[in-house]
Every structure is written in structure tokens, then in C-alpha cells.
A = this chain, B = another copy of it.
Amino acid sequence: MSPASSIRASRTALRLGLITMAATSMLTRAFQGPAIRSIRALSASQAATIQHASFIIPHSRPNLTRRHMSTAAELSPTQRTELESKIKAKGDEIRTLKENGISKSDLAPHVDELKALKSQLDPSAPPSSSSVSDNSKKKQADSTTTDTEESDYITSRSENYSKWYNDIIRVCDLAELSPVRGCMVIKPWGMSIWDQIHKDLDERIKEHGAENAYFPLLIPKSFLSKEAEHVDGFAKECAVVTHHRLTADKEGGGLIADPEAELEDPLIIRPTSETMIWYMFKKWIVSHRDLPLKVNQWANVMRWEMRTRPFLRTSEFLWQEGHTAHATAEGALQDSKDMIDQYAALCRDLLAIPVVKGAKSPSERFAGAEETFTIEALMQNGWALQSGTSHFLGQSFGKAFDVTFQDAEGKQQDVWGTSWGVSTRLIGALIMTHSDDAGLVLPPRVAPVQVVVVPIPPKKNDEESKVALNSALDTLVADLKSKGLKVKVDDRDYVRNGAKYFEWERKGVPLRIELGPRDVKGDVCVFKYRVGKEEKETISLEEASAKAAEGLEELQTYLLDTAKERLAAKMNLMATYDQMKEALEKDEASEYNGPGLYLVPWKCDAVNEEKIKEECKATIRCYPTDVNEAGMWKDKKCFYSGEDATHMALFGRAF
């Protein structure tokens, strides 16, 4: 999609006044607009000179990466010489560190720093030709090549968005492949994000009136057959437990499933728990007094996926699944709508992710549901990511498991149900909404560490300064904590300051505070935000904690606004089918800044939907709630069949 058509689409959105996310923030409302604009007006080389730390990769903004790269070549001879000598010094330092037995993880930032320096020198080439992202390229002879280089490089988004995503996950220590196909290890940095989501959402779920419970991991296979559609949806790819013992193989070494311990009836690892929970609901529900009944569980589930991507699609994943039972259809429907609202609020308020809320087309519904509501988020490559769903199950599971209740008049009635869930996929949504070529970007409310304080040590024998620094540091940290901020002090004495800055920026910590002996003398410290404000700020120590709390809230808003703008800009509103087809059929997940989503008048038709999927790989992400309720489809013709439209449909490529 060209910039011009993007602007056209946005204008249309404004005129229609129906797309909430478009209407709220069409203009770039930068966290600190003027500062950013002024930086962006400079050439990259000029910008580099106003950076305090020499190695910072300019924070690229959508569409600007390539421009940065081409202008970075405009180095003056002096700058080039200076850069070359820095590169040599860094190379020497790395060799010394390796000789002294530095750890892999401690070395990584040095190597990255070196690469960043090199990329400033020759930005037209990928920073390292030994990148895992392209094995066909020959390894360049390089005095600093180490076996850590491959794994510590972040492909730029514009080079390959899919690789960038995988690099971020690996380099920022979010997750790692495990030796079990399709299953990942969630590492501490990734897990603390999930723990934060868990905590926030758990409160919302309790407010919603559901209580936590826990149901068995294993489900008798016969349960799956009870609900006719459900079995089609979930029996296919699941892990089947057939034995309950291993034994030594008599014919050879090793262990085998003991033939004498075969289960009479195999069990499957839950792909979702509707069947088990409705089996229990039958025992728990007798009267209308027992309704509504709302339970939730935080659990692992397993679906044997053929193609996996960390966080987005893995065989095992963590999620919460809520299940509710109601006396009336209205009660159940309302419950499923309320929960999709909660999920949208979670994304907006905690993760700074704007979403499009809507209903799935009949062919995209959950197996066994009468209506599936979804929240769809837009990733930076223009693809959609289904980020949470809530299902109105009608009476399907109630009937399948014979769950009835006695109503107030004494009559037996079938029970209505819902189920709803979000998963570790939200971490994928978080990464692909905010992060940049320099690494992870975390909204302050979900960041495991909100402020990293880096004390800059005085000279070795300057005891007086050391005492003063430690005292100022203690006060600063106590002040920050008193504001409820999550603070980390990085006082490792074997890592250079620059390497520390680089590491924490890459890990997405929203604010870094530097505190050196000279700062202490002036009663100040230096703030540097991960994104939003390019320049460092000198802040008085007295005001530091208040400014930090305020600045982090502003950053949270800035990230949400930036994402809203992107969503509005990528929402194509007046496209013909041919235009959409042309744009989407050749679109790839790896292409950064792709054409985006298409909101079009549509006559609901499963056959045509399937044809479109074949022709341009696009699916209906949802029938967005707001425009459909506003009747935007009325008096319009379907963009595909030309018949009278029944809905406004949002088409797009999706993960």
C-alpha cells in the first residue's frame, strides 16, 4: 500500500467517523512530538553525533529504516576514522574478555556493540554476513567472529520481518526451542511478562464473577465425541496417552512403553477443556439458583501443530480458559460479549495494543460455538493476529453433556454456555506491536523491570566520590520504589557502562537512569527512555522519582497512540476485490509494512470465503462490532459477489 493510498484510506476513515481507533488518533501524537521530529529531520550521521553513547542504533520508525540506512553512508572522513578506531578498540576488548573467560551472556552485548559500530560504517550491508538468517552467504573472515555472533544478531524488520521476530525472541531471552517438537521453553524474561498478564487478567476475571478452579490434564477420548462439531475441531491433532509405564526393552537397550501397561481407553492431553468441564457442570448444576456458574483455569494445553512459531503457535502453550453456564441465552451471550470487552481492555490498558473487536464468520467459529467473538491486533508487517476469543456456545455442550436445571417454575431446562480464553500468544502480539530493530520495546505497565539504574563508578581511589555515589544511589532507588516502580540496579563491575545500556535497551526496559560521580555533585541524574524521546534528559535527583513515574505513564500512552495510528493507517477502506487480491496474494509474513487489512461490504457466504482464501490467502478476521452495529453495510453491495451486503467484513492475512 502506497503512502498516498494510506492517507486516502485514513481520510475516509475520518469522514466515516466509524472506526474508533482511526478517529481517536490520526495525527502523530508522539510522546514528545517536537523532539522526535527534530531528530528525524537530521541525517543519521548528524543524529549520531548528538547521541551520548556512540553505539546506539538509531531507533527506526516504520518506513524510515531504509532511509536511515542510505543516509548513514554520509559519514565525514573524520567520523569514519573515528568509527574505525572504535571498531578496532572494541575488537581488541572482546579478544581480551574471551581470553579472560567471560561468560557467553556477558560477552553478547560487546559483540552486538561491535556489530552496531560496523553497521554505522557500512549500513548498506547486513550488519553481519554470518547471520543465521542467510546460510547461503559465505562467512566473512573476521577477527572477532565468535560462535556467539550468530545468535546475538537481530535482523532488521525491513530485511525480514519473520526473522526479526525470531531474533527478538532469541536475543532478548524470551523463549527457546526445546528438544520436544513444537514445544518451547519460556525463559525468565518472557515468563515475567506472562506472570504480569496473568496477574492483571486474573483480577479482571474475578471482577467478571468467575472463580479459579483446576481440571484434569487428561481427557477420556470418548468425551471428545460427545459434541459433534467439537470432535471434528479437536480430535485430529492431539497427544494420545496409551500406556502408563515404561519398561526396559528386552530386545535392546533403552526404555519402551510397557505392553502390559496399556490403557483400556486412551486419554488425550487437553486441547481445551469444554468436555471435561461440562461433564463436571452436570454434577454441579441442579437449580436456577446454581446459575450463572463461572469457572476459570490457568493451565497448559496441547495441540499437535505441524508448523510452529514461538508464542504464536506452539504445540503446548499456557492460557486461561473460562467456562460459564447460564439459565438464558441472553445471559450467556452477554457473558461472552463482556469477556471479549475485558480482553480488549487488557490489551489496551496493560499491553498498549489496540484491537478490532468483532464476530467471526460462521466458518471461522470455534468448533461447537454458535458465535465466536474475537479481538484482532495488527502486527507491524500488516498481518492480523487473533489475540483472544470468547464463544457463545448456545446449548451445544449443555445438550451434549445432558446438563439441565430446574427453573423458577419447576421445569427442567437445558443450560446455555460460553467459553473464553487468551494465551501466551499475547506475548507474540506484544513483541510484534511495539518492538523495533534495536530489540524489545515493553510498555511500562507490563515490563518486568521499569527502571534500570546504572551507577557509573568513580575512579578507583576516589573513596569520597564512592561514598557519595552510593548514598545518592540508595536514596534514588528508595524514591523510585516508593512510587511503586520496579527498579533494578545494574552494578556489575565486570561489564562496561555502554554494554549495560545496550543490553537493557535491547531487553526493552522502558527507562534507564545513569548516575555518575559528576551527576551526584550536581544533584542530578540522566534519564534515557527506550523509545519516544531520543535525547537524554538531565533531571534533578529530588524530582527524579516523580518524573520517572510521570514519564513512564506518558510512554505507555505514547505506545498505545503509535499503535493506534498504525492500525488506522493500515485499515484499507475503499478497496475493490482486485486491489485487495493484488496486494495480498503476494504478501508474506516476512515483509515488513505490508498492505494491511481490508474493511469491505460483504455478503456472508462460506463458499466465496473459501474461494478468497484460495485466491489471495486472506481470511475474514471478523465482522467488526462497531461498524456492523452502526449498519455501515446497509445499501452496499458485496465487494466480491456484487450481491446485497449483509456485513462489513475485515479481511487480511493472519498469523
Residues in chain A within 8 A of chain B (CB atoms):
101-106, 176, 178-180, 183-188, 191-192, 194-195, 211-225, 231, 235-247, 254-257, 266-269, 276, 279-280, 283-284, 286-290, 295, 299-300, 302, 304, 316, 318, 406-408, 410, 494
Specify which of A104, A185, A225, A245 lies most central, judged by the most chain B CB atoms within 10 Å of its CB: A185
Q: How far is the CB of A132 from chain B (nearest CB, A)?
A: 15
6 sample A-B contacts, Cβ–Cβ < 8 Å, listed by A number:
A103-B287, A106-B289, A178-B280, A180-B219, A222-B254, A240-B246
Bound CA–CA A5/B192 (angstroms)? 53
Nearest CB of B to A136, in Å: 26
Q: How far is the CA of A59 from the CA of B641 in the complex (A)?
A: 76
- B residues less than 8 Å from A180 (CB atoms): 216, 218-220, 267
Apart from A178-B216, A183-B218, A217-B300, 5 more pairs, CB < 8 Å:
A102-B287, A178-B280, A180-B218, A224-B255, A237-B244
Tell me whether B211 and A188 are in contact (CB under 8 A). Answer: yes
- CB <8 Å contact, B290 and A105: yes
Which residue of B is nearest A266, CB measured? B257
Q: Is the CB of A188 within 8 A of B212?
A: yes
Residues of B within 8 A of A214 (CB): 185-186, 191, 194, 318
Residues on the B chain within 8 Å of A407, using CB: 101
Nearest CB on B from A432, distance (A):
21
Count of this chain's copies in the oligomeric assembly: 2
| A245→B236 contact, CB < 8 A | yes
Knowing A183-B217, A238-B245, say if A101 contacts B406 (CB, 8 Å): yes
Is the CB–CB distance between A217 and B295 below 8 Å?
A: no
A47 smallest CB distance to B (angstroms): 34
A221 to B1, CA, bound (A): 50
Contact B104 A290 (CB under 8 A): yes
Q: Given the known A-B contacts A213-B186, A255-B235, A295-B188, are A224 and B246 also in contact in the complex, defined by CB atoms under 8 Å?
A: yes
Known A185-B280, A220-B179, A286-B103; contact A246-B235, beta-carbon cutoff 8 A: yes
Q: Which residues of B contact A302 (CB under 8 A)?
A: 217-218
**Are B240's CB and A242's CB within 8 A?**
yes
Q: How far is the CA of A236 from the CA of B212 in the complex (A)?
A: 33
CA distance A235 to B246 in the complex (A): 6
CB distance from A58 to the nearest CB of B (A): 31
Taking the closest CB of chain B, its distance from the CB of A323, in whole angstroms, is 12
Contact yes or no, B304 A245, CB < 8 A: yes
Q: Which residues of B contact A239 (CB under 8 A)?
A: 218, 241, 243-244, 267
